[in-house]
Amino acid sequence: MQIAYGTSGIPWVRSLEGVEVLESGIGELKATKSEDELVLEAMAKPIDSPKLSELAKGKKTCTIIISDHTRPVPSKHIIPFMLAELRQGSPDIDVTLLVATGFHRPTSKDELTQKLGEKIVAEEKIVIHDSQDPASNVEIGVLPSGARLVIDKVAAETELLVSEGFIEPHFFAGFSGGRKSVLPGVCDQVTVLGNHCAKFIASDCARTGVLEGNPLHIDMVDAARQAKLAYIVNVIIDEDKKVGGAPLDQNMYQSVKGLTAAESAAAPGAVLIICSRCNDGTGGEGFYRALKDCESPEKLQEETLKIPMEQTNPDQWEYQILVRMMCKHHIIFVSDPSARQFVEDMKLEYAPDLETALDRAYALKGKDAHTVVIPNGISVIVEE
């Protein structure tokens, strides 16, 4: 058994006797057709929607929201077919590809080329969303929570808004895909920060696999409706498209996502061990500083819960979720030696390898402690 870690993995070398292993079963799902065939079949029979070519008829402009560099969406196998079908319905339609960066950094040209291919990058109009540029965004309404809905003008001013996306468990939105292409994908920072506020993140419904009653999901769905998102090609990525833990263990920030699966399986006071390569460091200065400079995780949690929606800080939701787990559990962070300093700065226990971490955990909880192993935390939904 391999524990996801970087591009290789860490082998589990101990006996599995008495050890409970939680896996999603995604490795058992194998496509029987090529990616192109599957996408074309799905587009030929859309769910509760006319075909894209029908939606395009009579339209002069269309914006396709595409995923950014942080998402493993196989855009090369989606966007060419979407472009072709749009132009089948309206040969002269003016199409813009809008990169849904959300609150991430801009996607580079090299990353766009890798994602879309040289032909599309050279021939199509591409705009990279900037959540921090008020001039490029416009307010179109108010969300159920009372938050302002401000989206990219390229999305707001088009006649037809469509998207690509992929579906997987998400640690506070329930699932990725669908409505997330609009919020946070192409929203202004005022809307993204409001959606990721302390009150919403603290909700018991803001958990992996939970949609009903999830306040983030409710606002996200409404944002997509108000933006008039008319059509989306969602895909599910099988296990072969992900290598080890990368890119979801590239930094401490991303590693929080996998750790929430362990939280869901653990009783209060349990020891949580996470193996994370963290080759890209902490993943955010604000995230790092919040933990490093706080008096204690408990004090930081208390202070964060008092922050109102309109004063939400960048990275706040990530450290809020991490300190939630730190207040309930003893966390041991397994990573390369280069990560030791910032792991300890953030008030977490560092271990250089899995064996050391396990020895410490059993010393704390006893050699007969109930042990649960989740080889790939990001793909698992733990049911109570």
For the CA atoms of 376, 321, 196, 379, what is the dihedral angle to 10 degrees? Answer: 10
Q: Which residues pair with 161 in a beta bridge?
A: 63, 229
Q: Would strands 349-351 and 330-334 be described as parallel, antiparallel, or unpaired?
A: parallel
The per-residue DSSP string of 100-156 comes to E-TTSPPPPHHHHHHHH-HHHHHHSEEEE--TT-GGGEEEEEE-TTS-EEEEEHHHH
Quick check: is 196 catalytic? no
Beta strands in the chain (DSSP E): 2-3, 10-11, 19-21, 61-67, 94-100, 125-128, 137-142, 148-152, 160-166, 169-170, 174-175, 229-235, 271-275, 330-334, 349-351, 371-373
CA atoms of 117 and 109, how far apart (whole Å): 11
Task: Return the residue matching tokens 């990275």.
Answer: 315
Quick check: is 104 catalytic? yes
Q: Which residues pair with 10 in a beta bridge?
A: 3
**Considering 170, 196, 217, 329, which one is annotated as catalytic?**
170
The two three-digit tokens of residue 49, written as one number? 């929607």
Task: Return the residue matching tokens 């603290």.
Answer: 202
- The residues assigned a catalytic role are 104, 170
